[in-house]
Chain A
């Protein structure tokens, strides 16, 4: 059984056929990297898993997306409940203009959690997991916008995991960070793997090779190749994959 699965998934932005029949399964507690040139559909595909594409007008979808074998686009799925099970981290760190504490507590606040000790503990746990606690434990009341870019991104990860999702989606989480902050995020992904199933979109192939167990290469809306990361980077079966990872295009 896969944690996440898509079956013959097609997606259209108006007349544009953006995803062309993608079928793949993602194992639980693994890190899966999506690579491919810009516009290949990898981010769009990622956003199908937490139904963020619902927010874009003129999007049409065919096929199935399953979480724990249940169709997430089924009529009786509550999209808000579904999104609480799947955390998302975006390309650009987007902390709320609130305190560090309130950022992490946000997910609990929206489900109506009132117990102060409970929230305190959840905030601390999430910040520890996101490897940020030691840097911010004395400044929890300060604005999150005063943090550095790398800290902000780890805060966003803390915010996402504070509600204990089972899956973390990351859309190029380190693309606007310096190398040192990037390393911290990658280390974090490695440690988070034991508690979460992680899917990461990245433009950086070394990053994909470093952090992921499996890698999927997308090109022009199609899933070209999907295999264990070692295999895909050392011995790809498709020529397009070979060309892309050796830097001949993209």
Chain B
């Protein structure tokens, strides 16, 4: 039974067996190979949020939230409903501007950049609600998503099917997401789990370096969840993944770093073990709110 919200005593006491999921590497804070200068290698931060605040009139949705996404890791953000997770992801992706604070993508300040601009710079996003093209085939969904990376709008006489770049990128993305058998199906006819897979495939089609995933496991059965977690584990290498999720088992299995949010602020940000043993987190969820 999957908890849809954090409730009493649901924080996993021990990590479940990691048979299906490859061992998660320790957060690389210090390189294993000492350099001649004996300085630890800087972590490869792909996306950084600095002190992000968002107000709606008198309501403070986010208050001074900071986080950093490193290459090769899954960084999970958890919290109760209304904690500000959606707002955070929307600010990082560029859909809402912050009231104050900065967002840096691959070292560049993108706070003033629109969402399409950030996407072109290497930021991918999946949505909590399926944001697909239901009347197109699965393949066309992926191809159109891939086309964003190689837009050539001037060649009006050439069919889009001749754009080899988008065609091959689409095939790859669909294959990685496990959709090879379904390429010709109209996307609107897919099962919910398959649509979530497509959601990820479209995210991957432009080969982004940072992935912002908003509840990719929502509404999935056990088998589909396993498949998705395997995919995420595989995607870790080379990417930085932000994962907003309610499924605590999955989060504790796959994440290297977990940020816990309550009422718009970060109350803890640590490794899974650190979170499990954190007094603040226990107070927030097991004690008085």
Tell me if chain B binds chain A.
Answer: no
Q: Which residues of B contact A (CB under 8 A)?
A: none
